[in-house]
Amino acid sequence: MTLDMQQFKADFFKALAHPLRIRILELLAEGDKSVNEIQSLVGSEGSAVSQQLTVLRTKNIVTGTKDGNRVIYSLRDPMIIDLLTVARHIFNNHLVDTISMLDKINE
């Protein structure tokens, strides 16, 4: 693997390394949404959502399309949905392992 590819991966995962960004991606996995819709669904103020959308746009993870005076956001690559699903499976596996370990300690 080339250094360029490693750097791309590191930058990509840094862009995902924020809970609000992950939540935004999960919402966009359900379908395209405007900033107002995203703000409403995450229950966060506009500046926080806009700031995180800017990071995701800069890293080409989401795209924004003008629709009148609104911007509609969408996932640039639908494989992001697969990545989020894999991350959930990894989390669940860790959780199962932790629960098993705790069960053994409590026996």
**pLDDT tens per residue across span 63-91:** 999 999 999 999 999 999 999 999 988 88
Rounded to an integer, the average pLDDT of 99-107 is 75
Amino acid identity, position 97:
D
Distances (CA, A) of 51 to 6, 45, 57: 26, 10, 10
Q: Are 62 and 28 in contact (CB under 8 A)?
A: yes
Q: What is the pTM of this model?
A: 0.83
Is 94 part of a structural domain of the chain? no
In this predicted structure, the answer to whether residue 94 has a pLDDT above a threshold of 90 is no
How far apart CA 19 and CA 16 sit, in angstroms, is: 8
Is 97 part of a structural domain of the chain? no
Is 61 part of a structural domain of the chain? yes
- What is the tens place of the pLDDT at every residue in 24-66? 999 999 999 999 999 999 998 779 999 999 999 999 999 999 9
Beta strands, E only, the chain:
33-34, 62-67, 70-75
What CATH number does the domain containing 54 carry? 1.10.10.10
If one counts the domains in the chain, the total is: 1
| Enclosing domain of residue 7 | 3-76
